[in-house]
Chains A and B, each alone.
Chain A
Amino acid sequence: MEVSGPVKTARDMGLVGCTRCYTVSPRGTAHCPRCGSVLQSRDRLSLQKVWAWWLVGLMCYIPANLYPMLETRTLVSAQSDTIVGGAVELARHGNWGVAAIILAASVLIPVVKFVIIAGLALGVWLGPKVPEGRRQFWYEVVEYIGRWSMIDVFVVAILSSLVQLQALATITPGRASLFFALSVIFTMLSAQSFDSRLIWDKGQPDSASTRRPPVGDVKGDLSA
């Protein structure tokens, strides 16, 4: 069973919903009476916060690609690899699969994340070209995959603590690992700052004709 007709939002009804416990309060309530979270019908500063974190994240992502991620020292050679350099090296040795995984996790996913977050923020700002459901989907994708990028930093940590074979071979983490971790953290904060309710606001008819009768006769009531 799905709700038919235009959906009514808490804001339309002069109410404000809590994003943590879903409780509804009258507009203007400062804190949720149930869970104590700060209530805001829409986060006015949402887009500013998104862009601020996004920019810092992008600024950290550039050195993350320029500095070496891993420094490998063996009996015969010393080598420092950037993220892309390491993947190219693996591919040259015929390890196409691993190279592809590394490129996907450390290059493709972060870049896609920057693009999606920027797209979502621009969509709210300029008026979207993509339907709400699709944008909600991408928002959830970014929220979900964001933390998984940290896997690269963990792999570097594991490799460097494991490969400590004195003269034979040692691996030490490079400076890029710090910038990469910061970039992941900042993009996560950027995605978290995005108020997804903004996706659904535009394009909603907000005229008096669509106003609903007062609470108690809510359209979305399917418990009856």
Chain B
Amino acid sequence: MSEKKDQNQAPMTTPQTSTQHSPVPADLERLIACPNCDALYTAPNVASQDKAFCGRCHTVLIAPRRKAGKQLIALALTVLILITAATLFPFLAIDAGGMHQEASILQTAFAFEGALLGLSIAVMMFIVVIPMLRLILLIYVLTPIIRDRPPARLAKPAFRLSEALNPWSMAEIFALGCAVALVKLSDLAQVQFGPAAWLFAILVVIVVVTDSLMCRYSIWKSLDQ
């Protein structure tokens, strides 16, 4: 495990004082295993902004941030609002031969018909339902933690589900898809960005920031009280 500094223990939220309620056996409480290579470490106290890496496979194990909980909630709420708005407004519009056509997310998701209807549902899930569900779960889990309340009911299964949904949340990939579609169409017709396109551009940035703020280890530790 490598780390830069070792003072100022600053876990994501309040420091853990009461560990007697923790179901994790006391002698194992300080130990962590790298999820990627199974290397065993004693969890160091990592300062805010610092990171602890696995010395063997260089996976980031602990990366706490002061006030990360609050920032994550704020970002998650922003993304929720952005996705809702982006679903309603058109994101691309074309003009060709005197005709005008706009596309919103809902129209896009239901572009597939007949035998491809399953794909419509999948697209809807990937770009709207799963990202939103994941963020709602995250807000639900984090809100009691930042208010120093005991974890919400079913907080653990909720966070587990939120984590499992992570790879299937593809809103930012769809945003890049808009750009590719724009390039493909640019010599066929005149293409304009709708309001939702800008919302999506912001969304890509926020999703990246949100991922960099998440410290799984800290969140799980806070939930374990």
A residues sitting closer than 8 Å to B (CB atoms) are 1-3, 7-13, 15-26, 33-37, 41, 93, 95, 98, 101, 132-133, 136, 143, 146-148, 150-151, 153-166, 168-169, 172-173, 175, 177-178, 181, 185, 188, 192, 196-197, 199-200, 215-216, 218, 220-223
Contact = CB atoms under 8 A, between A and B. Distances in A.
B66 interface: no
A215 B185 contact: no
Given A33-B23, A158-B181, A222-B44, A197 B32 contact: no
B220 A188 contact: no
B202 interface: no
Given A7-B56, A98-B183, A177-B112, A21 B216 contact: yes
B37 interface: yes
Contacts of B96: 165, 168-169
A157 B1 contact: no
Nearest to A33: B23
A168 B22 CA distance: 67
B57 A188 contact: no
Contacts of B103: 158, 161-162
Interface string B13-40: 0000000001111011001111111111
Contacts of A159: 181, 184-185
Nearest to A9: B38
Interface of B: 1-3, 6, 22-25, 27-28, 31-45, 55-58, 61, 92-94, 96-97, 99, 101-103, 107-113, 115-116, 118-119, 122-123, 126-127, 156-157, 159-160, 163, 167-168, 170, 173-174, 176-178, 180-181, 183-185, 187-189, 216-217, 220-221, 223-224
Contacts of B126: 150
A19 B61 CA distance: 11
Contacts of B168: 147
Contacts of A218: 31, 40-42
If over half of A's interface residues share one DSSP class (helix, strand or loop), that class is named, otherwise mixed; here it is mixed
A106 B47 CA distance: 43
Given A151-B173, A215-B27, A223-B44, A157 B111 contact: yes
Contacts of B45: 223
Contact of B94 (A11, A17, A23, A163): A163
Contacts of A35: 156, 159-160, 220, 223
Contacts of A101: 180
Given A165-B97, A166-B99, A199 B41 contact: no
Nearest to A24: B31
Contacts of A12: 40
A11 B42 contact: no
A181 B119 contact: yes
B220 A222 contact: no
B28 A15 contact: yes
Contact of A22 (B34, B94, B102, B176): B34
A164 B93 CA distance: 11
Contacts of B3: 1, 222
A41 B7 CA distance: 33
B61 A22 contact: yes
B131 to A, nearest CB: 12
B39 A154 contact: no
The interface centre, meaning the residue of B3, B32, B41, B160 with most chain A CB atoms within 10 A of its CB, is B41
A173 B110 CA distance: 11
A177 B119 contact: yes
A220 B127 contact: no
27 contacts: A7-B39, A8-B40, A10-B31, A10-B33, A12-B40, A17-B38, A21-B216, A22-B220, A34-B224, A36-B156, A132-B37, A132-B56, A136-B37, A153-B119, A154-B170, A159-B181, A160-B111, A162-B92, A162-B185, A164-B101, A165-B99, A166-B99, A168-B99, A175-B116, A177-B116, A181-B122, A222-B42
